[in-house]
Amino acid sequence: MKIRAVVRGVGHYLPERIVENSEFEATLETTDEWIRARTGIERRHFAAEGETTSQLAIKAAEAALRDAGLEASQMDAIVVATSTPDFTFPSVATMVQAGLGSTHGFAYDVQAVCAGFVYALTNANGLIISGQAERVLVIGAETFSRIMDWSDRGTCVLFGDGAGAIVLEAANGAGSNADRGVLSTDLHSDGRYRELLYVDGGVSTNGQAGHLRMQGNAVFKHAVQKLAETAHTALAKIGMSGEDVDWIVPHQANLRIITATAERMQVPMERVVVTVQDHGNTSAASIPLALSVGRDRGQIKTGDLIVTEAIGGGLAWGSVVLRW
């Protein structure tokens, strides 16, 4: 017997405003064709003025709780992955807790940029298998539109806003790969690569929120190599390989990265959940958004073996294998 962290519910929320690629043609030297061809992105959602990360997170959390048939007060912990919090503090997670009307348990944020959801999921799994929590709400929520430099065509066309959430619950498994729930995790970081992807502002440097800066091509090369590697490692830890995978649910940054990673894992694209065309890169929100959309589309079904993988600023990257 082994305690497993099983997905009980999933949900997402996207802000109302949809921005098509062509809208950028008016202010930047770019084209819809370039953005589609180089990234696979066709459109993204942007939060309305005054609409904050915690508000998106609360809506996604409500959807996931509804799906699970559970109340917020039944969550022992709330973990929010975000790099675009409403405030320096308190955490978005405590704001979500209050917004959901719960005073039970504890709530905190995890910051690992685009790898944030993989880190938060690994962390929540740890809370459950160590017996510290029975039910954990894990959320990825971002408003990256707030840290864009709108004159930098190399970054501002790539990102979008949104939130996704899952409810994890402890369940007894047999201890085999046939169990539902999180089966394997693999996390990495290497702070020597800070300059490749960072925000040029912050509390203890210049007191400003700052703007995202990225050496896209260098990050691309790290992504293609490191994502396949971490997914392989997570699967190998439990004696599995790409052949066993029903769905790769990757971080949605660039369709070319998603395709190259699937190829390296020898998983055909028919078994990859792709949402980047509609959401752009929503950083820590991209995987839970893709899980929720993939489930709604009828792609992800109970019992499917799923691999999630993500990389972002830090660099920080990792992978989680779970049976839905």
Which active-site residues does the annotation give? 114, 251, 281
Query: Residue 198, interface with ligand UT7 (CB under 6 A)?
Result: no
Query: Residue 124, interface with ligand UT7 (CB under 6 A)?
Result: no
Query: Residue 163, interface with ligand UT7 (CB under 6 A)?
Result: no
Q: How many other CB atoms sit within 10 Å of the CB of residue 125?
A: 23
The partner residues of 78 in beta bridges, in order of sequence, read: 107, 137
Of the pair 40, 173, the CB lying nearest ligand UT7 is at 40
How many of the chain's residues bind ligand UT7 (CB under 6 A)?
20
Residues in Cβ contact with 309 at an 8 Å cutoff, skipping those fewer than 6 apart: 118, 227, 230, 231, 234, 248, 250, 251, 261, 317, 318, 319
Query: Residue 38, interface with ligand UT7 (CB under 6 A)?
Result: yes
Helix axes 116-129, 286-296, angle to 10 degrees: 80
Residues 284-313 that bind ligand UT7 (CB under 6 A): 311-312
Query: Residue 213, interface with ligand UT7 (CB under 6 A)?
Result: no
Least CB distance to ligand UT7 at residue 1 (A): 38
Residues in Cβ contact with 247 at an 8 Å cutoff, skipping those fewer than 6 apart: 271, 272, 273, 294, 299, 300, 304, 305, 306, 307
Site string for ligand UT7, 137-156 (x = CB under 6 A): ----------------xx--
253: tokens are 């940054």
**Rg (the chain; Cα; Å):** 18
Whether 30 contacts 41, CB under 8 Å: no
Ramachandran sector of residue 161 (left: φ over 0; alpha: ψ -120 to 50; beta: rest): beta
Least CB distance to ligand UT7 at residue 234 (A): 19
Query: Residue 22, interface with ligand UT7 (CB under 6 A)?
Result: no
Binding segment (CB under 6 A) for ligand UT7, from list 34-42, 64-72, 173-181, 203-211: 34-42
Query: Residue 103, interface with ligand UT7 (CB under 6 A)?
Result: no
Query: Residue 257, interface with ligand UT7 (CB under 6 A)?
Result: yes
- Among 111, 184, 185, 281, contact with ligand UT7 (rule: CB under 6 A): 281
List interacting residues with ligand UT7 (CB under 6 A). 30, 34-35, 38-39, 114, 153-154, 157, 216-217, 219-220, 223, 253-254, 257, 281, 311-312
